[in-house]
């Protein structure tokens, strides 16, 4: 996978880490060092040799552990061994650590995640710390202790249920995050992000016909909403079997630029219409730009949309920041097309069933600054 990541354009686009999840270790620790032991059949040369090989390609390596006594699959966990494990990961050259929450309780989360966070910070190596702490605290994001997670050194956290490779799972996660997006947008920022879970675009696992399970439009919706929410883009698929059209959307530069925008301000769902279910998601971007997603979650029926972008900008960017704007430049992320819009006029769109429109909006003062692709 590391080779394909480098050769197929993913690394150049910013996908810079190969992650190894549960089951990489044995079920018992080394009797002498008390360190975790890599499975000798899967990793006969050990994790450090694998990390060296991956690093030689300019790629980072991510590893998995659990804050409890065992991992979710029953392998050795980190409870009581936080410092030993942190030092081992640093010695092996690990760059990213996902820490699950099985075989533990709230008391263990409150003590274990901060303890492991301190151990990682003191290990001598910069390791991105992914905590699953909030995913084990129920279905109300407004009650979860995100301030303590930030204090514990968590750079990102899994909030809710594990994603599955089907549209039902993806759409449920979108709906859940939309419900709590007002709260979640306030706790995310540079160095501490909400993680909506993995990207399923191009994943053919469990497919009955060898094709990706999510349709191309469903995959676009996931990437669009994840980008508005500033959720990490962690691909879950076999890069060797990803069709070209799915690879194209995964590598879409505009989508990635929104997701990785340097302002670091997460977006939110700002509206859900009762009459037809249309959802409006938006995010403030650097340079006083704005990203907007118009999402039709219905399985049948086209939705006609007329949206006042200036009014929306007051909500997302701040009151009247575009007050004297004569024109807006609107770029469609997925088609690459531009349009020029009178700042006082509504944007009209038709959104087909189970699809979305993903837009980048910018206030401009002269047509001289427009792109050649204006339509």
> CB of 239 within 8 A of CB of 10?
yes
> CB of 43 within 8 A of CB of 3?
no
pLDDT of 328 reads 93
> CB of 95 within 8 A of CB of 127?
yes
Q: What is the CA radius of gyration of the chain?
A: 22
**What are 242-297's pLDDT values in tens digits?**
999 999 999 999 999 999 999 999 999 999 999 999 999 999 999 989 999 999 99
| Rounded Cα gap, residues 375 and 371, in angstroms | 10
Residue with tokens 């837009």: 359
Q: Helices 167-179 & 216-228, crossing angle to 10 degrees?
A: 20
**What are 98-122's pLDDT values in tens digits?**
999 999 999 999 999 999 999 999 9
φ, ψ dihedrals at 350, nearest 5°: -110, 120
User: What percent of the chain stands above pLDDT 70?
Assistant: 96
Q: What is the mean pLDDT of residues 34-51?
A: 98
Band (pLDDT 50/70/90 cuts) for residue 210 is confident
pLDDT of 264 reads 97
pLDDT at 57 > cutoff 50 = yes
| Token pair of 311 as six digits | 């009014």
Q: Which residues carry out catalysis?
A: 100, 162
> CB of 343 within 8 A of CB of 313?
no
């Amino acid at each position: 996978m590391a080779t394909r990541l480098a050769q197929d354009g993913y690394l150049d686009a910013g996908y810079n880490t190969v992650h190894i999840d549960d089951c990489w270790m044995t079920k018992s620790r080394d009797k002498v060092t008390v360190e975790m032991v890599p499975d000798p059949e899967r990793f006969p040369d050990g994790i450090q040799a694998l990390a060296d090989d991956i690093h030689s390609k300019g790629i980072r390596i991510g590893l998995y552990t659990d804050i409890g006594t065992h991992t979710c699959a029953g392998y050795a966990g980190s409870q009581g061994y936080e410092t030993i494990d942190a030092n081992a990961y640093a010695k092996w050259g690990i760059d990213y650590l996902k820490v699950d929450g099985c075989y533990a309780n709230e008391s263990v989360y409150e003590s274990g995640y901060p303890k492991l966070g301190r151990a990682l910070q003191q290990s001598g190596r910069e390791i991105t710390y992914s905590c699953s702490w909030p995913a084990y605290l129920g279905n109300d994001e407004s009650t979860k202790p995100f301030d303590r997670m930030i204090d514990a050194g968590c750079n990102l956290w899994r909030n809710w249920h594990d994603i599955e490779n089907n549209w039902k799972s993806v759409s449920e996660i979108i709906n859940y995050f939309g419900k709590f997006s007002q709260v979640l947008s306030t706790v995310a920022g540079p160095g501490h992000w909400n993680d909506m879970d993995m990207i399923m675009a191009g994943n053919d696992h469990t497919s009955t016909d060898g094709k990706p399970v999510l349709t191309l439009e469903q995959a676009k919706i996931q990437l669009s909403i994840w980008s508005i929410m500033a959720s990490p883009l962690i691909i879950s698929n076999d890069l060797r079997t990803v069709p070209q059209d799915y690879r194209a959307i995964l590598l879409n530069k505009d989508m990635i630029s929104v997701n990785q925008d340097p302002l670091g301000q997460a977006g939110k769902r700002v509206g859900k219409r009762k009459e037809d279910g249309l959802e409006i998601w938006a995010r403030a971007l650097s340079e006083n730009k704005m990203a907007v997603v118009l999402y039709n979650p219905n399985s049948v029926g086209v939705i006609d949309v007329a949206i006042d972008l200036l009014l929306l900008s007051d909500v997302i960017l701040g009151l009247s920041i575009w007050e004297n704007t004569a024109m807006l430049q609107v770029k469609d992320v997925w088609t690459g097309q531009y349009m020029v819009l009178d700042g006082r006029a509504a944007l009209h769109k038709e959104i087909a069933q189970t699809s979305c429109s993903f837009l980048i909006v910018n206030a401009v003062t002269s047509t001289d600054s427009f792109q050649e692709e204006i339509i």
